[in-house]
Structure 1
Amino acid sequence: MAAVIAAMVGCGTPPPAPKPPPVPDQFRFQSGWVTAPADAAPRGEAWWTRFDDAELDRLMNEAGEANGTVEQALARVRQAEAQWRLAGAADKPVLKATAGAERARADGVTATVWQGSLLASWQPDLWGRVALERQAGRADLRASEADVASVRLAVRLELARAYLRLRVLDRQRELSEQTLGAYERSLTLTRNQYEAGLVARSDVTQAEVQAQSVRAGLHDLTLQRALYEHTIAVLAGRAPVTGTLAPVAVLPDVPAVPATVPSTLLVHRPDVAVARERLEAASARAGSARRAWLPDITISAAAGVRSTRWSDLFEAPARVWSVGPQLAATLFDAGARQATADAADAATDEQAAAWRLSVLTAMKEVDDALAGLQALDAKATDQARLVALAEENERVVTNRYRSGLVSFLEVAVAQNLTLQSRRAALDVTAERLDASLRLMAALGGGWEG
């Protein structure tokens, strides 16, 4: 018997814990990163305040609470908490009460049997199986809580992107209106010169086409802005009809990234925390599955009354009781327990791979964002120089046109070059803002901590 128990205990040994994924001391596009600790919880930094925009602050706070996706994640937390409490009740005593009456026939006699009883039972957790299930439930609860942070981060990132793009559209509209004003002034100048017989009718047509193309493009900006307003309203948990935002032509500044940021921030990413907790839950369940070979011991006690006459139900002869332990073990199940244990081990391996992948993905996204910010900073400097050159070229060509030295075609080319360079500069600013958002998200919400 001792040998059988020893063999069962051996079968119940859990698999070794998976090794944590590596975290580098340094990233490719930024030095000074330090090795991350093995465990950390998601952070709650209000990273969007770095853009110093009161309207964005208000919307982000709404998205963190009223958003439908966030509400679903919060409901999953309550479910996980209930499952954790359920796992914790498995090794606690249970008290049941029964009462009833039945018609029975014995020895040729048919009679009504009245009975009532109280049953107390307890199945002690001798092998730690329930403790492991409780550990798994607690890990699932922590994973659900981290998932709320992950959902909030994703929703807020999407909202921040939509909001900043809307502000970029406001700036594009302002730029288009300024350009349209310049084109209309050029059109007036060309008409005056045409009426004076200095230029051909084709120059007037060219100026009209140029102004009209910008005027038509304003409608596209209006439509895109309305769509972004609708997206922002839904992300904030409101109906699109209530999502009107007043135009603001000033873009937020691109937040300055510190020279060095600790890699401890990587383990604060909610998705990394979720993967880590899922791995712990799977590992605990694998250990619990391997303890299925061990016998269960139940200690029970019962007391009650039983009589064929209601009036005698509470007399001494009608009283019955029992107490004692019970040992139960499955001797043969055609490999069902082994299959369950193998499936649990495979689930643990799956979660370990998911954890390692989440860390590698985090490192990639951080390096991607850092690389993007470096390249875009240099591009913004060159683009600003290009805008200055295009504006200077436009001034020179316009003066030459007024002097009758060149045709309006050269003016139109110069003006279009200026407009394109200004739009490109605005696009670079939008890309820099988006890269800052991606870096904040890749670090789990900003770089403080």
Structure 2
Amino acid sequence: MDGTRFAEQSSESLNSISEWQQQIPSASRKAYLTDLIHSEALQTLIRQGLRNNPGLQQTALAIKIARENVTDVRGDRLPQASLSVSQNNSEGSDTVYQGSLDVSWTLDWLQKLQDGVNVSEASLANSIAADRYARDLLAATIADTWLQLIRQTRLTEIEQNRLSVLEQNEQTIVERYRKGLDELTDLDSARSQSASSRATLAAYTENYEALQRSMAVLLGDTSYRKTNRINFPRVEIPLASMPAQDLGRRPDLQQAYLNIRIADLNSAIAYKALLPSLSLNLSLSQSDASFRNALFTSPAWGLLNRITAPLFQGRKLRAQARQADLTAEQVYWAYQEKLLTAVKEVEDAMGQEHALTARQAHISDALTNAERSFETYQTKYRQGLVSFLDLLTVQTQTFDLQVQKAKLTYARLTNRITLGLALGLGVES
């Protein structure tokens, strides 16, 4: 066992993906996730989140802990020395001091200790990849929450316009009744529509405030208040190039690969535990009534070379080695699953871009026609040429299409961020 078997297979799996099934002609090459979004306000929020988010502080500390562990494990390959001094007092005799210096060194002729160092270094790289993924995911989540706030502001504005029109309907019905042009039979329906719109506005308000609270948590702040913005920003489409290159940038896949590397090395260590180990031990000791002489004057010394090999442990070591080997294979298949999911995420996001573009175009056409009908039906209703139900149908259709357009715009923009994250675009270190 050389500690690279499944790691090599996982590299081959990544390189076997030759091309993406879909492409987006209008995509552009970007270096970072933040390059996709043209908004200085959002960039400021992302920088604040990267500085203050409590989760990122924890991943940063995990890196420091892993670095200390590397230093600790590297020390196992070096000679170990210990100095001890004891004092013996007996009744009727002088005080005797005994000093001893013991030096031991395990010869790493099978690279057992080096494999342990490699495991700790791979664990450090894993912690760094985890931190990078956490940073990338945080930036994407902040951007998505920010777009949701813009969407919620736009939905609120649409609903306020709807309510204003519905209240106007109530006034128009009353005026037509006073002029003897109509009955009050439609007034209850108009009031019901207005009440329903007010309920929707109340829900939108709470959703907006909940998003603000979520943003505050992401930013590591106690509060967040966003200046209202109606228009969505421009979000570009990231370019998908070579699958191995795109997916190779993803920190979560790097983590999965490093998990295989760690499991491979642990398997190699477990098999090497079945083989003998060689250690050298040097001992220096001296006893004297003088404390100084006990430490520094002509000590007796002894040198011990020791070879140890496992003989009988009830097949325990072999079982542990086989278990480590199976664990490495299990981690390899977890990587395969992660790789397939990553490919699906990219293809899904590109497919969504095509679908959302088409849907948005159709909704825009429908909204243009509905807005023309909106004005026409209002005029005709005042003239008594159409019923209130006809007017309400056209009004409802118009505002519903505006809502759909706002939601589709948000979905399309946040999908581009999702695509960037799936292609391994992150934030600057």
Q: Normalization by structure 2: what TM-score?
A: 0.90
- Structure 1 residues 160 and 116: alpha-carbon distance in aligned structure 2, compared to 1, 3 A threshold: same
Q: What's the counterpart of residue 24 of structure 1?
A: 17
Q: What's the counterpart of residue 4 of structure 1?
A: none
SS in 1 for 2:76: coil
Q: Where does 1:28-427 land on structure 2 (aligned, <5 Å)?
A: 28-30=21-23, 45-102=31-88, 113-239=96-222, 242-258=223-239, 260-263=240-243, 264-307=245-288, 309-310=289-290, 313-314=293-294, 319-427=299-407
Q: Distance in 2 between matches of 1:272 and 1:415?
A: 50
Q: Where does 1:423-434 land on structure 2 (aligned, <5 Å)?
A: 423-434=403-414
Q: Distance in 1 between matches of 2:235 and 2:402?
A: 18
1:97-131 Cα offsets, whole Å, 9 max, x none, are: 000124689xxx99865201122222121111111
- Structure 1 residues 104 and 329: alpha-carbon distance in aligned structure 2, compared to 1, 3 A threshold: farther
| TM-fit CA distance, 1:243 | 1.1
| TM-fit CA distance, 1:398 | 1.8
Q: Distance in 1 between matches of 2:164 and 2:293?
A: 102
Q: Distance in 1 between matches of 2:426 and 2:237?
A: 11
- Structure 1 residues 376 and 31: alpha-carbon distance in aligned structure 2, compared to 1, 3 A threshold: closer
- Structure 1 residues 174 and 430: alpha-carbon distance in aligned structure 2, compared to 1, 3 A threshold: same
SS in 1 for 2:175: helix
2:17 alignment partner AA? P
| TM-fit CA distance, 1:167 | 0.9
- Structure 1 residues 116 and 200: alpha-carbon distance in aligned structure 2, compared to 1, 3 A threshold: same
Bigger Cα displacement from structure 2, 365-374 vs 191-200: 191-200
1:273-324 Cα offsets, whole Å, 9 max, x none, are: 00111111111121122111222222232223114x3479559997322234
- Structure 1 residues 278 and 14: alpha-carbon distance in aligned structure 2, compared to 1, 3 A threshold: closer
1:323-359 Cα offsets, whole Å, 9 max, x none, are: 3422222222221211221121112112211222221
| TM-fit CA distance, 1:420 | 0.9
Structure 1 unaligned residues grouped into runs of 5+: 1-11, 33-43
Q: Distance in 2 between matches of 1:375 and 1:13?
A: 48
Q: Distance in 1 between matches of 2:251 and 2:233?
A: 27
Bigger Cα displacement from structure 2, 424-433 vs 155-164: 155-164
Q: 2:4–2:261: 8 Å Cα contact kept in structure 1?
A: no
| TM-fit CA distance, 1:380 | 0.4
Q: Distance in 2 between matches of 1:409 and 1:139?
A: 69
SS in 1 for 2:311: coil
- Structure 1 residues 84 and 318: alpha-carbon distance in aligned structure 2, compared to 1, 3 A threshold: closer
1:300 alignment partner AA? N
SS in 1 for 2:273: helix
- Structure 1 residues 335 and 103: alpha-carbon distance in aligned structure 2, compared to 1, 3 A threshold: farther
Q: 2:83–2:101: 8 Å Cα contact kept in structure 1?
A: yes
SS in 1 for 2:104: strand
| TM-fit CA distance, 1:229 | 0.3
Q: Distance in 1 between matches of 2:413 and 2:286?
A: 78
Alignment RMSD (CA, Å): 2.7
1:171-205 Cα offsets, whole Å, 9 max, x none, are: 11111222223333333333322211111112333
- Structure 1 residues 375 and 314: alpha-carbon distance in aligned structure 2, compared to 1, 3 A threshold: closer
Q: Distance in 2 between matches of 1:256 and 1:14?
A: 40
| TM-fit CA distance, 1:385 | 1.0
Identity across the alignment (%): 23
| TM-fit CA distance, 1:143 | 0.8
Q: Normalization by structure 1: what TM-score?
A: 0.86
Q: What's the counterpart of residue 39 of structure 1?
A: none
Q: Distance in 1 between matches of 2:249 and 2:213?
A: 31
Q: Distance in 1 between matches of 2:250 and 2:295?
A: 68
Q: 2:270–2:320: 8 Å Cα contact kept in structure 1?
A: yes
SS in 2 for 1:27: coil
Q: Distance in 2 between matches of 1:446 and 1:316?
A: 61
Q: Distance in 2 between matches of 1:446 and 1:118?
A: 54
Q: 1:115–1:313: 8 Å Cα contact kept in structure 2?
A: no
Q: 1:13–1:291: 8 Å Cα contact kept in structure 2?
A: no
Q: 2:377–2:394: 8 Å Cα contact kept in structure 1?
A: yes
- Structure 1 residues 14 and 386: alpha-carbon distance in aligned structure 2, compared to 1, 3 A threshold: closer
1:410 alignment partner AA? D
Q: Distance in 2 between matches of 1:411 and 1:158?
A: 41
| TM-fit CA distance, 1:135 | 1.1
Q: 2:74–2:117: 8 Å Cα contact kept in structure 1?
A: yes
Q: 1:440–1:447: 8 Å Cα contact kept in structure 2?
A: no
| TM-fit CA distance, 1:236 | 0.9
1:233-272 Cα offsets, whole Å, 9 max, x none, are: 0011111xx21112111112342344x5332111111110
- Structure 1 residues 414 and 341: alpha-carbon distance in aligned structure 2, compared to 1, 3 A threshold: same
Q: 1:206–1:409: 8 Å Cα contact kept in structure 2?
A: no
2:23 alignment partner AA? Q
SS in 1 for 2:303: strand
